[in-house]
Amino acid sequence: QKEVEQNSGPLSVPEGAIASLNCTYSDRVSQSFFWYRQYSGKSPELIMSIYSNGDKEDGRFTAQLNKASQYVSLLIRDSQPSDSATYLCAVNPDDMRFGAGTRLTVKP
Amino acid sequence: DGGITQSPKYLFRKEGQNVTLSCEQNLNHDAMYWYRQDPGQGLRLIYYSQIVNDFQKGDIAEGYSVSREKKESFPLTVTSAQKNPTAFYLCASSTLAANGPQHFGDGTRLSIL
């Protein structure tokens, strides 16, 4: 079983819609959770960190964490074509583990 | 500006050759990491270091070597023993604070000639 799994995608949404990206993890002692955005040919860029159950909002981005279900998600509201990228989920029990990523395309 | 600098951006390796990828950070981070990313795949940890003159193997260390002589620098050597080196190599750093995020350099793309 993979340690960090993301919905495989690719995910395509129209401009202005909500994009929902999901991630599950296997290590129950995980304490910190991150979402990175990676444009094609570029390095990952940290966009959200979340450490406790519930929602955390930053602009158009909302991260949601449910430790009991071992589930973390990222919602992107009012999606823009510039949001088109691969989104990596990362989980840190004691060392960082990355999911394979979900490719998002926002169509104008 | 504080950040992580990787060089070169593109690198070509000949058969039987060792090549070294540079990673320098001025964020005063204690921990540094090397990852490999293959097309359409996630990040795989090669080596990491939490203190000068000490480093640990990650999941795919075979065919690679590192050194950490200075806090700011963590070069990666891809040796001739690594038979499939073509990939995107990413260097990252973080504080040692529990559960902190990692920050990445711009990466080096390595190809075989």
Q: Is B42 on the interface with A (CB under 8 A)?
A: yes
| Lowest-pLDDT range of A14-28, A79-93, B11-25, B86-100 | B86-100
Q: What is the pLDDT of residue B98?
A: 64
How many residue contacts between A and B have a Cβ separation below 8 Å? 41
Helix then strand then coil, in percent of chain A rounded to 5, is 5, 55, 40
Q: What is the pLDDT of residue B99?
A: 74
Separation CA B57–CA A73 (nearest Å): 30
Looking at the DSSP assignment, which residues form a beta bridge with residue A61?
Answer: A58, A76
A15 to chain B nearest CA, in Å? 24
Q: What is the mean pLDDT of chain A?
A: 93
Q: Is B89 on the interface with A (CB under 8 A)?
A: no
Q: How confident is the model at residue B8 (pLDDT cuts 50, 70, 90)?
A: very high
Contact residues, chain B, for A92 at CB < 8 Å: 99
Q: What is the pLDDT of residue B1?
A: 64
pLDDT of A70 over the 90 cut: yes
